[in-house]
Chains A and B, each alone.
Chain A
Amino acid sequence: MRGAFINTLSKLAKKNTDIFLLTGDLGYSVIEGFQKDFPRRFFNIGVAEANMAGIAAGLALSGKTVFMYSIVPFVTMRCFEQVRNDICIQNLKVRIIGAGGGLCYGSAGPTHHSIEDISIMRSLPNMTVICPGDPLEAELAVRSSENYPGPVYIRLGKSKESAVHAGIKGFKIGKGILINEGRDVAIIATGNMLHTASQVTKGLVRKGISACLISMHTVKPIDKDIIRSVALKAKAIFTVEEHSVIGGLGSAVSEVLAEEGKEICFMRIGLPDAYTKEIGSQEYLRSRLGLSANDIERRILEVYRKRIKL
């Protein structure tokens, strides 16, 4: 996804001379091409994310469209008040690009994991929150953000994510994508869990369960229409995300569902409210924390079968 991000940004920057890229000294083997092609519109701010966010605001106040890049915790939490005061209160065209969403930086440990970022960014007025699910969604999110008003947070994965979409027609920020139709179970996934969710959907279908899959790439504003018109038609609804179950996609969807005033079978599947002590790769951590395709399928089946018996 980082590759999709930088390639798309470079293409946009060729035509749009207002585009700037800032980094907090991260992005080895990612940002070099942009730096070479657009040296006057690239700044390595140094290891100083608060300053980076303030500079981004100053550039945006001067009419620039600014992309600021770092690993998720550093570009969202280290400089949180600058993001809030300088960027969100003033409603500026700054795009916060977080690399390594969720558990991408597996063995690097909890300082480099991001399990709270969607929740935190979602709480900021004016902020749009996008978690692309595959490289194509990442490309389209970056492209769509160019002329989108106000601040945008784009939560990327890392590299070599599998493609889920062969193509996407009419990608729109704030509009979920219906990937698979189904009447029994609805799975709403975001970000780097999309591929796993797609595997789970296929697994359920193989078991004779009609499973619907929605890619909810934009967590804020949440697409209420697709939740009401598609997901609510299923017998049970599940959200899947590589993020704490508190405050992320699961919370955003449950806020919509709770206000429907209907009896709904719903479950959030995400990371527990804990900093993991486990050490290992993203894949290993997912398996230890209940986010492997098998785990997710098992949990969905348990809930669904209970529901059917009722």
Chain B
Amino acid sequence: MVKKYKEIAKSARSRLIKMHAASGASHIASSLSVTDILVALYFNILRVSPEKPKDKNRDRLILSKGHAASALFTCLAARGFFPQTLLEEYCIDGGRLPGHASINCVPGLEVSTGSLGHGLSIGVGMALAAKYDREKYRVFVVLSDGECQEGAVWEAAMFAGHHKLDNIIAIIDYNKMQALGKSKEILNLEPLAKKWQSFGWAVKETGGHDIEAIIKTLKKVPFAKNKPSVLIAHTTKGKGVSFMENKLLWHYKSPDREQAESALGEIGCL
């Protein structure tokens, strides 16, 4: 089973490398960072069905770090929400898949994102609707760490804690890097877990590339009764491609043909 997830992640990474190489789009390292989290969600945790993408009871996933859309697209395609061939239309003239997550561009994609700090509030709104409608679905919101510098994230966090929204789960892709450098140096997020705890959230931490561990942790949500849950997933920006890992350049640059081949080789998908 674990091997299966690893294979899916490997294939997702290879596809998104090809997408970025073909289109020249930015943020490949952000997508590689969040790939394992999305694989764990789409292939185990989320109660979603490609046959019924608008089912009322489906779990919702919001990729609040919308710039990692290529990872989301590869996972949705792999899960069967749309044909893999559509991935070739990522960030090209006249294509159907934009650089940031956009509602209605493909089935299964719930919310348009791209500007940071928006997803958690929208997730809170969905969680409130679920409570009102007495539906059992959960709302998962994937945030970046740099995103937690946005004040709106904490407005939403305070609200969810106050209202004891146990049907919302935030997952932080904590790769410790942001657009211009290390988060620790730009605007330190620590102590991150304590911040969320103090806002009334139940916090867990895990390795963000250990799919088995992510699944194991997210199997039991909420983490505490009457509390929203947050999983701080420790990740590596550019994970899987040695020359991209923890290198700021790959927040912007897309691989040329040679680099793409070398990256695919490292992943084992050449």
Chain A residues near B156 (CB, 8 Å)? 51, 54-55
By the criterion CB–CB under 8 Å, are B118 and A85 in contact?
yes
Chain A, 32-61, contact with B by CB distance < 8 Å: what is the 0/1 string?
Answer: 000000001101011010110111111111
8 interchain pairs, CB-CB under 8 A: A46-B162, A51-B121, A54-B120, A58-B129, A59-B125, A63-B129, A81-B115, A89-B112
Contacts of A60 in B (CB 8 A): 125
User: How many angstroms between the C-alpha atoms of A41 and B133 in the bound complex?
Assistant: 11
Report A56 CB to chain B, min CB distance, Å.
6
When distances are taken between beta carbons in the complex, the residues of chain A under 8 Å from B155 are: 46, 48, 50-51
B252 in contact (CB, < 8 A): no
Q: A59-B128, A86-B118, A90-B103 known; 14 other A-B pairs, CB under 8 Å?
A: A40-B132, A50-B152, A51-B152, A54-B122, A54-B124, A54-B156, A55-B124, A57-B122, A58-B124, A59-B125, A59-B126, A61-B126, A82-B121, A85-B112
* Chain B 106-120 interface 0/1 with A at a Cβ cutoff of 8 Å (1 = within): 000011111101101
The 3 closest A-B pairs by CB, nearest first: A58-B125, A54-B121, A62-B129
Segment 74-94 of A: residues with Cβ below 8 Å from B:
81-82, 85-86, 89-90
- B114: chain A residues at CB < 8 Å are 85
Main secondary structure of the interface of B (DSSP, over half): helix
With a cutoff of 8 Å between Cβ atoms, the chain A residues found around residue B243 in the complex are none
Number of interface residues of B (CB under 8 A): 29
A40, A51, A54 interface centre (most CB from chain B within 10 Å): A51
Interface check B22, CB cutoff 8 A:
no
For B128, the chain A residues whose CB sits under 8 A away are 43, 55, 58-59
Q: Which chain B positions have C-beta within 8 A of A63?
A: 129
**Chain B positions within 8 Å of A64 at CB level:** 129, 132
For residues 185 through 203 of chain A, which have their beta carbon under 8 Å from a beta carbon of chain B? Answer: none
Chain B residue at smallest Cβ distance from A84? B115
A174 CA to B126 CA, complexed, in Å: 31
Asked if B151 CB lies within 8 Å of chain A CBs, one says yes
Q: Is the CB of B121 within 8 A of A90?
A: no
List the A side residues contacting B122 at CB < 8 Å. Answer: 54-55, 57-58, 61, 86
| A 84-114 contacts with B by CB, 8 A | 85-86, 89-90
Closest chain A CB from B113 CB (angstroms): 8
Q: Is the CB–CB distance between A54 and B125 below 8 Å?
A: yes
- A residues near B (Cβ < 8 Å) are 40-41, 43, 45-46, 48, 50-51, 53-64, 81-82, 85-86, 89-90
B188 smallest CB distance to A (angstroms)? 23
Chain B residue with minimal CB distance to A53? Answer: B121
Q: With contacts defined as CB atoms under 8 Å apart, how many contacts are there between chain A and chain B in the complex? A: 88
Assembled-state Cα–Cα distance A275/B25 (Å): 43
A55 touches B112 (CB 8 A): no
CA distance A51 to B123 in the complex (A): 10
Interfacial residues, chain B to chain A (CB-CB below 8 A): 103, 110-115, 117-118, 120-130, 132-133, 151-152, 155-156, 158-159, 162
A67 to B151, CA, bound (A): 23
Kindly report which residue of chain B lies nearest to residue A45, judged by CB atoms.
Answer: B159
Secondary structure dominating the interface of A: helix
Contact of B152 among A43, A54, A56, A57 (CB under 8 A): A54
Alpha-carbon distance A43/B156, docked complex (angstroms): 13
**Given the known A-B contacts A82-B152, A90-B111, are A46 and B126 also in contact in the complex, defined by CB atoms under 8 Å?**
no
Cβ of B112 and Cβ of A90 under 8 Å apart? yes
Out of B103, B112, B129, B159, name the residue touching A48 (CB < 8 Å): B159
Chain B residues with CB under 8 A of A50: 117, 121, 151-152, 155
Q: Identify the closest chain B residue to A94 (Cβ).
A: B125
B contact residues around A62 at 8 Å (CB): 125-126, 129-130, 133
A64→B131 CA distance, assembly (Å): 13
Chain B residues within an 8 Å CB radius of A40: 132
Contact status A55-B115, CB under 8 Å: no
- Smallest CB–CB gap between A304 and chain B, Å? 48
Residues of chain B lying within 8 A (CB to CB) of residue A59: 125-126, 128-129
Chain B: minimal CB distance from A182 (Å):
47
B110: A residues at CB distance < 8 A: 61
Chain A minimum-CB-distance residue to B111? A61
Q: Report Cα–Cα, A56/B129, bound state, in Å.
A: 10
Min CB distance A172 to B, Å, is: 29
CB distance from B162 to the nearest CB of A (A): 8
Q: Whose C-beta in chain B lies nearest to the C-beta of A40? A: B132
B123: A residues at CB distance < 8 A = 58
On chain B, the residues within 8 Å of A41 by CB distance are 132
**Smallest CB–CB gap between B231 and chain A, Å?**
20
Whether A51 touches B124, Cβ cut-off 8 Å, given contacts A59-B129, A61-B110, A62-B129, is yes
For residue A46, which residues in chain B have a CB less than 8 angstroms away from its CB? Answer: 155, 158-159, 162
In whole angstroms, how far apart are the Cα atoms of A57 and B127 in the complex? 12
A55 pairs with B132, CB closer than 8 A:
no
B248 CB to closest chain A CB, in angstroms?
26
| Residue numbers in A under 8 Å from B113 (CB-CB) | 85
Of chain B, the residue at the smallest CB distance from A43 is B128
Question: CA A61 – CA B126 in complex, angstroms?
Answer: 7
